Every structure is written in structure tokens, then in C-alpha cells.
Structure 1
Amino acid sequence: MGKAGKALKQVLDIYGISQNKLAVTMETGRPNVHRWVNEIRDPVADTVLEIRDALKKINPAAAEEFIKLYLGDTDDDEEPA
């Protein structure tokens, strides 16, 4: 499945954030977070933004890391001038 789940799993592990903590902050059920983390279901684009916003409330660095991992490092994709 998708990049969002992999990025989310990595960020939760790195920053020690539980799936339950994210679910409570997002005001969603923990099973939803479980599905994303285990790549059973991909979050839709709006939900990716909600994940980012919730992570920002918990740990702003985690939110930045999530977006970086999700979008990838765009500098690596650019060709030299």
C-alpha cells in the first residue's frame, strides 16, 4: 500500500507516539490509525493533513518528519542546473 502508512509508522516509532495518542488527538478511532500504520488502508489526502496537524500538536518535529518522509526529499529529485 502507501507511503503515508510507512511514513506514519516510522514517525510514531522515532518519536515514541502511540497510535492511541494520535487517535485521541485526531478525535478518531484507534482502529483507523492501526489501519494506516499497518498499511491496510491509505489515508485520503484530507486525512494526511489531519495527521500532520495532530502530530504538530503532539510534537512539531514529528509533524515535519512525517511530511518529509511522505513527500520525500524534493532536493534529491532535482537535476543540477
Structure 2
Amino acid sequence: MKKAGKALKRVLEIYSISQNRLAVAMGIGRSAVNNWVNEISDPPADTVLEIRKGLQAINPEAAKEFIKLYLSEDEDC
């Protein structure tokens, strides 16, 4: 489905957040974030919550937008 990756890619672009910055905020490697953004892999459901927490630490509005896009019924986000 890769919905999380699409939502994350849009949020990172809209709020000018680098993949590396999110990875550091989450305490993970940048390659994991890159894999999600490029739809190579989909984060597990519990990781979606960790993405939200990482975005929250950087920009609370970005975290809200990510969840809004992730939960939207629009397949193109």
C-alpha cells in the first residue's frame, strides 16, 4: 500500500524537513526513512506512531499533517 511513505514524503517536502533530521529525531538510520519515502518498504504500524513522535519533536504541525494524510481515504495523499 505504501500510504505511510507517500504521506511522509509530502510532509517532509511541505515542511522542509530532511530525511536525516527525522532519522536523528527518531534515533534510527537515515536509510530506513529513505526506504519509506521512496516506497521501498512500508513502516510497521507501531513505527507510524514513532514517525509521528519524531515529526512532533521537529514541527508539531508536520506531525498533524502526516497523520491527516496517512488516515485520509485519498490514495494519492
Q: TM-score range by the shorter chain?
A: over 0.9
**Structure number, greater radius of gyration:** 1
Spell out structure 1 runs of 4+ moving beyond 2 A: none
Stretches of structure 2 lacking an aligned partner (at least 5 in a row): none
Stretches of structure 1 lacking an aligned partner (at least 5 in a row): 74-81
Between the aligned partners of 1:53 and 1:26, the Cα distance in structure 2 is 8
- The 5 Å alignment of 1:56-71 reads 56-71=56-71
- The 5 Å alignment of 1:1-81 reads 1-72=1-72
Report the residue type matching 1:68 in the other structure.
Answer: K
Please give the TM-score of this superposition, normalised by the length of structure 2.
Answer: 0.92
Between the aligned partners of 1:27 and 1:55, the Cα distance in structure 2 is 12
Please give the TM-score of this superposition, normalised by the length of structure 1.
Answer: 0.88
Identical amino acids, percent of aligned pairs: 70
Shift of 1:70: 0.2
| Number of aligned residues | 73
Shift of 1:58: 0.2
| SS of residue in 1 equivalent to 2:13 | helix
